[in-house]
Structure 1
Amino acid sequence: MHPPITEWPKIEQPREKMRTLGASALTDAELLAIFLRVGVKGKSAVSLAQDLLHHFGNLPRLLSCTPEELTRIHGMGISKWSQIQAAYELVKRSLEETLSEESVFTSPGYAREYLQAKIGRLPHEVFLCLYLDSGMRLIECQELFRGSLSHTAVYPREILKEALARNASALIVAHNHPSGNHIPSEADQELTKMLVKTLHLVDIPLLDHCIVSGTGFFSFLEAGLMRND
């Protein structure tokens, strides 16, 4: 039996701790407890949050869980899932807004965090295009293809058409590997070469091809694989 949070020393209560020390001083469980607001019989909100993190293994898996997965747990309903998803979506939108205001080269960490938050934990494969303006700021992030890239064709002409329609000055493309392995396959490498050559015909550089998983990130640019040969 855990005492309710209201009976804890004030400095140990998550809301008071945040007010006094700032959000960064709180553990994942304490931050999650603020969203949960209340626990269940015999468990404080912090204890319930710890159970959730243990059940899903880590915070990213919890944030990307389905309503069915969360509501199987005692005390968790659709409203709790909705609250968690709303907070997660705000994080993704904040990162996207930052990319639309700053060059991807002055804030490369935001691009990585944004892509990992957006597609890193998806159970299916998606292919994204990030269209950039002349200042290398994000115009739009568009999902163009869905499904395994070995079965779903990625058409360079479609990417070219969409880039021209947005008057993009440069592109970054990205896709996820639901398997968790973020190492590029031969098909990924061939696709990258084909896209570089196709976009080069209209003087739109492909700056990077990123492969994202829930636990890793691969950049063709950082690996020195963005050659036009």
Structure 2
Amino acid sequence: MSIRDWPETERPREKLLANGAAALSDAELLAVFLRTGVAGLSAVDLARELLSAFGGLRSLLSADVERFCAAKGLGRAKYAQLQAVLELSRRHLAEELRREGVLRDPGSTRRFLQARLRDETRELFGMLLLDNQHQVLAFEVLAIGTINAAAVYPREVVKAALRRNAAAVIFAHNHPSGVAEPSAADRELTERLITALRTVDIRVLDHVIVGEDCVSFAERGMM
């Protein structure tokens, strides 16, 4: 049965317009994106099959172009559309972070860092740069590494902070393994960077590690 033959209150698009996107299941949201199904499958049925095949929404969204395009009902046009949607989401979160302020809304900080770093296959080390009111000036990636390491140099971190005229910073990096627990090397690097930035009167407010979840050094009492 086509979705057009469903009761209006059950159709994903109409349901979204009436109740908001949060009211939809993963399959219903994906069906809105897909717009149409394939022979014998409605858009919702196709969405359910795709979620099952990929093992969930996150795996589908982070699939590379070859795996994505090989799936039933997908292709390069859909891949391009999805990447555009994901980038719009990241930019929206970045704007929200700049507008609301990092200290007034730590949740926005985490959402932005997770959207930016969680699905990277290599380790990235970045820094949120803040002014003296702790409003976000920018986010800069300072190092890109292998699957489990990124070389970070205190001198480059100091130069980046001074270039933006930052008064404070928040460090962030991802663990591609998904395990966000800080390593001994993470703790040692954080101390080195705190010491380097202290010489130019720039405060380090936190170091957030992004995996399946986020771990905050500040919340753990590690700095």
Q: Secondary structure at the match of 1:121?
A: coil
Note if contact 1:132-1:140 (Cα within 8 Å) is conserved in structure 2.
Answer: yes
CA shift at 1:55, angstroms? 2.0
Which digits, 9 at most, give the CA deviation of each residue in 1:158-217, with x for residues without a partner?
00001001000110111100111110110000000101111111110111111101x211
* Mapped pair 1:158 → 2:171: no
Amino acid at match of 1:67: V
CA shift at 1:152, angstroms? 4.0
- Tell me which residue corresponds to 2:201: 203
- Tell me which residue corresponds to 2:213: 216
Structure 2 Cα separation of the partners of residues 183 and 152 of structure 1: 16
- Tell me which residue corresponds to 2:86: 88
* Mapped pair 1:33 → 2:14: no
- Tell me which residue corresponds to 1:108: 106
Percent identity over the alignment is 48
Question: How many residues were matched structurally?
Answer: 223
* Mapped pair 1:183 → 2:181: yes
Amino acid at match of 1:153: A
- Tell me which residue corresponds to 1:65: 63
CA shift at 1:148, angstroms? 3.9
- TM-score, normalization: structure 1? 0.93
Structure 2 Cα separation of the partners of residues 154 and 6 of structure 1: 55
Structure 1 Cα separation of the partners of residues 34 and 11 of structure 2: 14
Structure 1 Cα separation of the partners of residues 144 and 9 of structure 2: 48
* Structure 2 runs not aligned, ≥5 long: none
Q: Secondary structure at the match of 1:196?
A: helix
Amino acid at match of 2:156: E
* Structure 1 runs not aligned, ≥5 long: none
Note if contact 1:40-1:75 (Cα within 8 Å) is conserved in structure 2.
Answer: yes
Structure 2 Cα separation of the partners of residues 65 and 150 of structure 1: 20
Match of 2:125 among 117, 124, 127: 127
CA shift at 1:149, angstroms? 8.8
Note if contact 2:148-2:175 (Cα within 8 Å) is conserved in structure 1.
Answer: no
CA shift at 1:150, angstroms? 6.8
Amino acid at match of 1:208: D
Structure 1 Cα separation of the partners of residues 179 and 79 of structure 2: 28
Q: Secondary structure at the match of 1:209?
A: strand
Q: Secondary structure at the match of 2:33?
A: helix
Note if contact 2:147-2:176 (Cα within 8 Å) is conserved in structure 1.
Answer: no
- Tell me which residue corresponds to 1:17: 15
Structure 1 Cα separation of the partners of residues 163 and 49 of structure 2: 48
- Tell me which residue corresponds to 2:6: 8
**Do the aligned partners of residues 80 and 149 (structure 1) sit closer, same or farther apart at CA in structure 2, a change above 3 Å counting?**
closer
* Mapped pair 1:225 → 2:222: yes
Structure 1 Cα separation of the partners of residues 189 and 181 of structure 2: 14
- Tell me which residue corresponds to 1:52: 50
Structure 2 Cα separation of the partners of residues 205 and 38 of structure 1: 52
Note if contact 1:61-1:121 (Cα within 8 Å) is conserved in structure 2.
Answer: no
CA shift at 1:83, angstroms? 1.5
| Aligned residues: CA RMSD | 1.4
Amino acid at match of 1:224: G
